[in-house]
Amino acid sequence: MKIGVIGAGSMAEAIISGLINGNVVRPGNIHVCNRSDRSKLLYMQDHYGVNVTENKEELLERSEIIILAMKPKDAEEAVLSIRPYVKKQLFLSVLAGVTIHTIQRLLGKKAPVIRAMPNTSAAIQMSATAIAPSEEVTMHQLKMAKHLFETIGMVAVVEEHRLDAVTALSGSGPAYIYYFIEAMENAAMEIGLDQEIAKSLILQTLAGASEMLMQSDKQASQLRKEVTSPGGTTEAGIEKLKDYQFNDAIIACVKRAAERSVELQAQVSNEKKKIREA
């Protein structure tokens, strides 16, 4: 499998790291280019052993799969720059807010495109990724893309219009978890626990609860009730979360993120329209 990556940001690095650490693609079969940051390309070359180039024609000629991982605002310029070299490559896009239709329009042909929404846990092969294929994607290509993303975590195939919800849930999800852990660490300090001991306890508790959900047929609500004894410490803590409308806050958080994903998609479209009309 020969892969070309356009873009060298955090998501591109997470995917490359996952693929190499998972022994799925050899570093020599990965070519990377980006818009202008030569130092980042040299870092990728030194750290991962991948090939780096500023020649996009060379990158496309040597790749059967092209991963679009530049910033969404740079998508139009980047995709137009590779348009003359497009042949039979499969395009995997991790660009938030850039539709399959837009990518195909910029490519100038109905190329097979799969939009993907991984998260940064791809770097440790623990991503939760959703993928949405265009009509031109063959079953073989879909299986190949699914296998590629499965090497960096779990994969769900969804319809494209579901990706805004996926972005809000699993794309942004790690940040919500980290924010929750920050609050737990602050609470630990306030009740007098050593910072390092508290961190170890919090992370193991989180890992254990997650594994319980993975291995059990029970719903989260049932497992929670099994831990919550009437009149006990857990119930007292849960009641405080209810007082602060914790459940409503989480729902509002995810809904707002989904709304923002739609807004950003419209924003990208409007900016491109202004550029074309200028």
pLDDT tens profile 176-199: 999 999 999 999 999 999 999 999
Query: What domains appear along the chain, each with residue ranges and CATH number?
Result: 3-162 (3.40.50.720)
pLDDT tens profile 132-157: 999 999 999 999 999 889 888 999 99
Q: What is the pLDDT of residue 96?
A: 81
Contact status, residue 60 vs residue 83, Cβ threshold 8 Å:
no
Kindly list the distances between the CA atom of residue 230 and the CA atoms of 137, 209, 218, in Å, as whole numbers in the listed order: 54, 20, 20
Confidence class of residue 278 from pLDDT cuts 50, 70 and 90? Answer: low
pLDDT tens profile 28-71: 999 999 887 788 899 999 999 999 998 999 999 999 999 999 98
Q: Tell me the CB-side half-sphere exposure of residue 3, using CA atoms within 13 A.
A: 24
Q: What is the pLDDT of residue 251?
A: 97
| For residue 270, pLDDT beyond 80 | no
| For residue 276, pLDDT beyond 80 | no
Largest CA distance in the chain: 69
**Structure pTM?**
0.82
* Distance, CA of 37 to CA of 40 (rounded, Å): 6
